[in-house]
Amino acid sequence: MCFSVRYNGKLVAFCRIITDFVYRGSLWDILVHPDHQGKGLGSSLLGYALNHPAIKPVPLIVTYTSELIDFMCKLGFETRDGLLIMQRRPIEYS
């Protein structure tokens, strides 16, 4: 799923999560135009994406980045074995 923010008709932020909608989601992008960084736009966009009704039930969200570790940890991710992981609840397999 893709999420974006437009300002005056121009794309200024973008977020992409790929998921099976059941067990796992993978955050591939969180991008904010340099002119709009530092204003909370990335945090708001990612918060919106993670709480979207189609994404919120997914128990495990992973991402791979070395540049945004502090940013992602503030939003609930934790580092584990070189990954950034947000585990909302244990995965239940049936």
CATH code for position 83:
3.40.630.30
Whether 93 is in a domain gets the answer no
Say which residue, 64 or 2, is predicted with more confidence: 2
Residue 10, pLDDT > 90, answer yes
CB under 8 Å to 54, separation ≥6 — which residues?
A: 1, 19, 21
Whether 73 is in a domain gets the answer yes
Q: Which residue has the tokens 């893709």?
A: 2
Residue 36, pLDDT > 80, answer yes
Report the helix count and the strand count for the chain, using DSSP H and E: 2, 6
Whether 92 is in a domain gets the answer no
Residue 78 CA to residue 72 CA, distance in Å, equals 8
Whether 51 is in a domain gets the answer yes
Q: Report the pLDDT value the prediction gives residue 69, as an integer from 0 to 100.
A: 86
Tell me how many domains the chain contains: 1
pTM: 0.84
Whether 94 is in a domain gets the answer no
Q: How many CA atoms does the CB half-sphere of 76 hold within 13 Å?
A: 13
Q: The domain containing residue 27 runs over which residues?
A: 2-87
